[in-house]
Homo-oligomer: A and B are copies of this chain.
Amino acid sequence: MENWLNAEGKNDDIVISSRVRLARNIKDIPFPDKLSAEKGKEIVEMINDSILDLPEYKDKFKTTKLWESDSLNNKTYFEKHLISYKLLSNCKKAAFISDKDETISIMLNEEDHIRIQCITSSLNLEEAYDTADNLDNLIESKVDYAYDERLGYLTACPTNVGTGMRASVMMHLPALSISNEITDILKAVSQVGMTIRGLYGEGSKVSGNLYQISNQISLGITEKEIMNNLNAVINQIINQENISRQKLMQNYSYEIEDRMHRALGILKSARLLDLSEGLDLISQVRLGVELGIIKNVDKKLLNSLLVNTQPAMLQKIFNTKLNEKDKNYYRARIVRETLDQKN
């Protein structure tokens, strides 16, 4: 798998990344929310020990126990999409196992005991699923999963029962947003059983025209069907975004050019930048690059900014505690420094 932040793929217009996660629990052990911090840690150690035994673990994976790590570092894992907000809030009893590329994260004591998450660049759910499925089999050879013959995998939240799988795709939909077509499309998407979320998953606001689209149903359907359904929807949205981009360029080419160049001009010169404006401007520059209006800006740099402009990452990068105004100042600075890099 390729880390989406470093994506060189040609297919990375519109779809930024594909993610599959499998929710699993250990038989006869209460779900994480029912576990004390002490008991939770025991479970983490137990699962971790089992996985450590695997020859595949050595040299490839690393375990991070959130209760041993400082809170700023933990937030950066969240901002890098390595862990979920739920894992962060369970930090007293949670851990995650990640690979060097940071495409794989096995979260321990999230809402479920085990959540295997695989993220790859572009639209490639199959690759993400195959990786997750392999890991799932390896882990299953070491621990007893809570599994019901009729229902499938048992999970803390009923929406995950069955395959325990959520497949999701991060899409960048600026043209549909500019043209206001996005509202109708999102309505249609949710009517066919898909869920729409922002850059940081459940409960996160949509910003930077980034939409995470995922399956809502996990029960009575196979993993392959989940992926096929989602792929079909995603391909339709890609198609509509492309049509919308063409229309914009046909009818408003000057205005679009103006908007994209201004966005880059502001990013390169602002001294204060809040997160939401920053993500919006990055979105416009990305569209400009994809439409061929803006040259000499590497999309990898734009990807890195999606993460590096987040509050904890800023404090990590500049190695200092920042208040709100400071954050806007340092955010503007990292943006300028990043865009001034020779590509």
Is B254's CB under 8 angstroms from A261's CB?
no
CB-based contact A329/B254 at 8 Å = yes
Contact for A261 among B257, B270, B329, CB less than 8 A:
B270
When each residue 262-287 of chain A gets 1 if its CB lies under 8 Å from chain B and 0 otherwise, what string results?
10111011111000000000000000
A258's contact among B261, B264, B265, B271, by CB below 8 Å, is which? B271
Q: How far is the CB of A225 from chain B (nearest CB, A)?
A: 47
Closest to A264 in B: B269
Q: How far in angstroms is the closest Cβ of chain B from A250?
A: 16
User: A268's closest neighbor in chain B, by CB?
Assistant: B265
Q: How far is the CA of A271 from the CA of B255 in the complex (A)?
A: 8
> CB of A325 within 8 A of chain B?
yes
Chain B nearest CB, measured from A267 CB (Å): 8
Inter-chain contacts of A270 with B (CB < 8 A): 258, 261-262, 265
Question: With A and B bound together, what is the CA distance between A195 and B271 in angstroms?
Answer: 38
- Among A261, A268, A270, A332, chain B packs the most CB atoms within 10 A around the CB of A261
Inter-chain contacts of A262 with B (CB < 8 A): 266, 269-271
Q: Which residues of B contact A257 (CB under 8 A)?
A: 271
Chain B residue numbers with a CB within 8 Å of A264 are 269
List which A119-136 residues lie within 8 A (CB) of chain B: none
Name the residue of chain B whose CB is nearest to the CB of A261: B269
Residues from chain B with a CB closer than 8 A to the CB of A265 are 265-266, 268-270
Contacts of A266 in B (CB 8 A): 262, 265-266
**In this complex, which of A264, A325, A332 has the most chain B Cβ atoms within 10 angstroms of its Cβ?**
A332
Q: How far is the CA of A268 from the CA of B266 in the complex (A)?
A: 10
Give the distance to chain B from A324, nearest Cβ to Cβ, in Å.
12
A269 to chain B: which residues have CB within 8 Å?
261-262, 264-265
B residues less than 8 Å from A261 (CB atoms): 269-271
Task: Return the CB mask of A230-272 against B: 1 if under 8 Å, else 0.
Answer: 0000000000000000000000001101100110111011111
Q: Which 3 A-B pairs have the closest CB atoms?
A: A265-B269, A258-B271, A265-B265
Q: A residues bordering B, Cβ < 8 Å?
A: 254-255, 257-258, 261-262, 264-266, 268-272, 325, 329, 332
5 further A-B pairs in the complex, CB-CB below 8 A; given A262-B270, A265-B266: A254-B272, A254-B325, A254-B329, A257-B271, A258-B272
Q: List 16 A-B contacts (CB under 8 A).
A: A254-B271, A254-B325, A257-B271, A258-B270, A258-B271, A258-B272, A258-B332, A261-B269, A261-B271, A262-B266, A262-B269, A264-B269, A265-B266, A265-B268, A265-B270, A266-B266
